[in-house]
Amino acid sequence: MKLWGGRFSKATDKNVDDFNSSIRFDARLYEEDITGSIAHAKMLGKQNIIPKEDSEKIVKTLGEILEDIKAGKVEFLVDAEDIHMNIETILTERIGDAGKRLHTGRSRNDQVALDLRMYLLKEQKNVEEDLKGLLACLTDLAAQHVDTIMPGYTHLQKAQPITLAHHLLAYFEMFYRDLTRLQDWQKRSDVMPLGSGALAGTTYPLDREFVARELGFSDVTHNSLDGVSDRDFVIEFAFCLSLIMTHLSRFSEEVILWNSHEFGFIEMDDAYSTGSSIMPQKKNPDIAELVRGKTGRVYGDLTSLLVTMKSLPLAYNKDMQEDKEPIFDALDTIKMCLPIFTAMIRTMKVNKERMLHGAKGGFTNATDVADYLVKKGLPFRDAHAVVGKMVAYALNHNKNLEEFTMDELKNCSDIFESDVYQAISMETCVNGRNIIGGPAKERTLAEIDRAKSYIK
């Protein structure tokens, strides 16, 4: 007989049991469920809601059950529906009536809200550590490439010269924001819902603050309806994970492009590449492609959560059982992607000469030529027009701007002097942008120091 079966005169259909059961995916919450139950049992005994000897027996036996589960000695039952009722069933089998007292003053509604919060708060720390590993990797790579000049792009067209360090530090900023976003999420999610009951609390004199302290929460929820029906914390966590995947996917796209024969900026390490079953010459960036592909999967998990919750009335509805598989999938996906992506970029080989050659092509110093003329007194719009004509001339004569002879320069504007060649060299173009946020070596080194301090 089901633990809730007193009102029913007929057993549930086996197919209903299978359909209704969530143990196949919420079994991973076993440690949180037992930890929360131990704190609840301690409180029940402390408040004399149940006999202290029963409280102590429950706490001791739950600890034993936890060890047995970890040792693989426990098999969960589908017809016990979920992790909560499986644990309670095992407890009652072991200690009889004392185990039946555990559920006093609580509902599965506030129990699952507690378990899921605890689980995500624990996993948030793991994602945070993976992000810190990626940030450290980016910082180390940037320090190695402060002098590696490459083309910067807009519209995937060569725009201005930058350094690889500056490019890598752009991703550092993105992933650092992802880290702080997770930390902000933790502050909002660090509240304890147990005691909300099914929806309206309980008449028992629960000490919710005691349970919160036992479980390490900084506060308790302050509305019982919200306590059991809130899944904002799940959706927001999925959003945080989705943004991390966005940034991983953008980086993966660039890695894939850079690794192509047409770019040749990098070469992926053999350990993080794959081959073709038919074309023996192939070396494919499959890791980056899979990260890019799995991003859509995490977006789907976020969308699923939003759609599930969008029209549910207060308080708990069985629809909310559908919150776990998407968030578990999103979490599993990102925990798989972050470490392997970090290892992939740490081991990639950078072709500095090819990057410099790329920066010299495509007139990436055109803006610097215009700036040179402006500094000599020409209005910017006139300078812009002059350089535009120079680019057209260069295209017709298959040369770069720095390859113009002085006569060719004078034909474009008599303002040009011999110092223009130094002014529009790749090194000057990069290091002349010596403002906060710019790619100049001095600024880049300062940002690397700043990044290292952030990681610490």
Q: State how far the Cα of 289 lies from the Cα of 190, in Å rounded to an integer.
A: 36
Task: Copy the structure tokens of residue 270.
Answer: 């053999």
- 384 catalytically annotated: no
Q: Are 439 and 430 in contact (CB under 8 A)?
A: yes
Q: State how far the Cα of 36 lies from the Cα of 84, in Å rounded to an integer.
A: 10
- What kind and span of H or E run contains 157? strand 157-163
Task: Copy the structure tokens of residue 425.
Answer: 């060299």
Query: 3-state DSSP call for residue 216?
Result: coil
Q: State how far the Cα of 68 lies from the Cα of 29, in Å rounded to an integer.
A: 15
Omega cis (within 30) before 315 = yes
| Residue entry with tokens 């953008």 | 250
HSE of 391 in the Cβ direction (CA atoms, 13 Å)?
16
- 222 catalytically annotated: no
Task: Copy the structure tokens of residue 326.
Answer: 């998407």
> Which positions ≥6 away from 244 have C-beta within 8 Å?
127, 131, 175, 178, 334, 338
Catalytic, out of 218, 260, 276, 397: 276
Catalytic, out of 155, 222, 261, 453: 155
Q: Which residues are catalytic?
A: 155, 276
